[in-house]
């Protein structure tokens, strides 16, 4: 992990502000992802933004924006909680769209199942009005770097 990334991560943990970390990820900055910590859990937020609309007639969020939001949420979640020495690399991503993403704030939560020393499996759920009515669910596999042994 680069020293800059390590320092940003330490500051984010101490201050509870993950904004500077997300600003270092160009796509996260472009679509406006935000992250807040609620106890031992992270809550990701994609604020309503007209630039993220895919169908202006409904209006509805672009499916690619929803997918990118969920994939980035999973990668950042792993980076923050696994202690990986580097940014995890995506191996596989599978997404199920359950309903249209309306033009309003969208939220995501991740749950990690770690498989071995090099692969992590993450389940992601995205919703808008209530977590009980998800707009999409996804599963992602990431290659994580092993922490070097001394």
- In 3D, which of 58, 76, 70, 71 has the Cα closest to residue 106? 70
Domains in the chain: boundaries = 3-143
Q: What does the pLDDT read at residue 60?
A: 95
Q: Please determine, looking at this structure, whether the domain spanning 3-143 carries the CATH number 3.40.1160.10.
A: no
Which of 80, 78, 97, 98 minimizes the C-alpha distance to 88?
Answer: 78
* Pairwise pLDDT comparison (42 vs 16), residue with the higher score: 42
116 pLDDT more than 90:
no
pLDDT class of 118 with cuts at 50, 70, 90: confident
**Is pLDDT above 90 for 51?**
yes
Q: Cis link prior to 59 (omega < 30° from 0)?
A: yes
């Amino acid at each position: 992990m680069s020293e800059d990334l390590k320092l940003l991560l330490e500051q984010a943990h101490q201050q509870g502000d993950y904004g500077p970390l997300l600003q270092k990820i160009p796509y996260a900055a472009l679509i406006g992802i935000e992250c807040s910590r609620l106890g031992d859990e992270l809550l990701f937020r994609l604020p309503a933004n007209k630039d993220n609309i895919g169908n202006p007639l409904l209006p509805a969020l672009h499916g690619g924006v929803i997918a990118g939001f969920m994939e980035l949420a999973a990668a950042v979640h792993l980076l923050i909680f696994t202690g990986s020495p580097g940014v995890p690399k995506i191996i596989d991503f599978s997404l199920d769209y359950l309903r249209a993403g309306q033009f309003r704030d969208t939220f995501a939560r991740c749950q990690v199942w770690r498989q071995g020393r090099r692969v992590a499996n993450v389940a992601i759920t995205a919703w808008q009005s209530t977590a009980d009515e998800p707009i999409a669910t996804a599963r992602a596999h990431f290659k994580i770097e092993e922490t070097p042994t001394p």
